[in-house]
Amino acid sequence: MASLRNRLPVEFPGTTFYFLPADMVTQILNFGLPAPIDVQIEGADVATNRNVADQVLEQFRHVPGLTDLRVQQTFDYPKFHITVDRTKAQQGGFSQRDIATGLLISLSGSFQTAPIFFLNEKNGVNYSLVTQTPQYAIQSLTDLQNVPVSGPGMIRPEILADVASINRSNEMEALSHYNIRRVVDIYGSVQGRDLGGVGRDISRIVQADEHLLPRGSFFRVRGQLETMHTSYLGLFAGLGFSIVLVYMLIVVNFQSWLDPFIIITALPAALCGIILFLFFTHTTLSVPALTGSIMCVGVATANSILVISFAKERLTHHGDPALAAVESGFTRFRPVLMTALAMIIGMVPMALGLGDGGEENAPLGRAVIGGLMCATLATLFFVPAVFSLLHRKQHSDQPQEQAI
């Protein structure tokens, strides 16, 4: 596809080429739009909005990774403008409506305007009859002027040239609307670059060109960029909510505010591991990557619970926080490592992006692998150290409270 994008404009100059999304996933993410990126200019002044769209389009052509750029609406669509001489039409005995209906029936068929049905009495089946001028019969402006028109109660039809004049002109092929307002759409696709980087460049250009819009018009960015921003907000909120919910559940289980805090101290390391692994593998932050982050939070928290729960048992047994932390690290080393390695090894095929469509889910596997690698180290070394430090301080404060 990349080679075709380079070859076709050279071999066919003056022609606009673009490629529609072929896979089902892209079509779903586009929500019915023919391109992943849709920059709309909404407003009633369509002519001015078109000029602004042309200027913005030229700036979009300099954005790296942005391809298949075009203005969707056709503004110079050829048309024939028919002006009815009402005096001649009235003298002939028919109205302007009769002429319009006659032309519609002749050129487009009579099925919608004047349906005709024939009942076959032998089998009782209704057949629809359609009258229409053959397309090969209208090949020039003269043929159009000789189209017969008639009205109710007329004995003979008149040709169109006797009651109307025909002029050539250009106009918009169709008026596009979004939320009732007229819009001009600038479509584009992404190639060789992440959607977020292209979206940032588009936002910068759109904000810089807002002063060019007439009063009552504004820009609206739709397509996958809109979906991406909404998904990111939802997933970031879900990630934060999952951490808070896990903390509150551990508080109920341990009947303490301190131990759940020690348990979740492994999560910053997990988040750092996710970011570093995505950076070193040249993987962009995406919805699958955020989904993998939420999965990593659950596994890292479960491993920390194993360590802290055993450390609490040993602390109750002999009362030494440092010794309890060391014992929990040694005793829970194998279960924690087995849990993390099982998850990491299971995610390796997904992280490699093998097979058809595997690259789409690769960020999920890479986020889980990077997060668990750092979270496991933090669970085995950092979390016991925090446990020893905080519980040592807590035990040192207890005699002072008893003395008071």
Q: CATH no. for residue 81?
A: 3.30.2090.10
Continuous H helices in 116-223: 141-145, 160-163, 195-208
Q: What is the mean pLDDT of residues 356-374?
A: 84
| Number of domains forming the structure of the chain | 3
pLDDT at 27 over 80: no
- In this structure, is residue 322 part of a structural domain? yes
For residue 92, what pLDDT is reported?
77
Q: Which of 384, 390, 375, 383 is nearest to 258 (CA)?
A: 390
**334 and 217, same structural domain?**
no
CA separation for the pair 266, 332 (Å, rounded): 15
Span of 4-13, 60-69, 185-194, 297-306 with lowest mean pLDDT:
4-13
**272 and 203, same structural domain?**
no
The answer to whether the beta carbons of residues 304 and 264 sit under 8 Å apart is: yes
230-248 per-position pLDDT tens digit: 877 887 888 788 888 888 8
**165 and 184, same structural domain?**
no
For residue 25, what pLDDT is reported?
66
The answer to whether the beta carbons of residues 144 and 103 sit under 8 Å apart is: no
Range of the domain at 347: 256-403
The answer to whether the beta carbons of residues 367 and 292 sit under 8 Å apart is: yes
Give the pLDDT band of residue 67 (cuts 50, 70, 90). Answer: confident
**320 and 370, same structural domain?**
yes
**63 and 82, same structural domain?**
no
Total H helices, total E strands in the chain: 16, 11
Q: Which two tokens stand for residue 252?
A: 């109920």
Characterize 84-94 residue by residue with b for buried, 16 or more Cβ atoms within 10 angstroms of its Cβ, and e for exposed: beeeebeebeb
82-106 per-position pLDDT tens digit: 888 888 888 777 788 888 888 887 8
135 versus 186: the higher-pLDDT residue is 186
Q: Which of 226, 262, 235 is nearest to 390 (CA)?
A: 262
The answer to whether the beta carbons of residues 18 and 186 sit under 8 Å apart is: no
Task: Please give the C-alpha separations between residue 234 and each of 95, 231, 285, in angstroms, as whole numbers.
Answer: 60, 5, 14
pLDDT at 53 over 60: yes
**What pTM, to 2 d.p., does this model score?**
0.62
For residue 403, what pLDDT is reported?
39
- Looking up tokens 């009651």 gives 163
Q: Which two tokens stand for residue 368?
A: 């889980």
- In this structure, is residue 181 part of a structural domain? yes
**Main-chain phi, psi angles of 45, to 5 degrees:** -85, 85
Angle, helix 267-280 to helix 358-377, in steps of 10 degrees: 140
**392 and 300, same structural domain?**
yes
**187 and 149, same structural domain?**
no
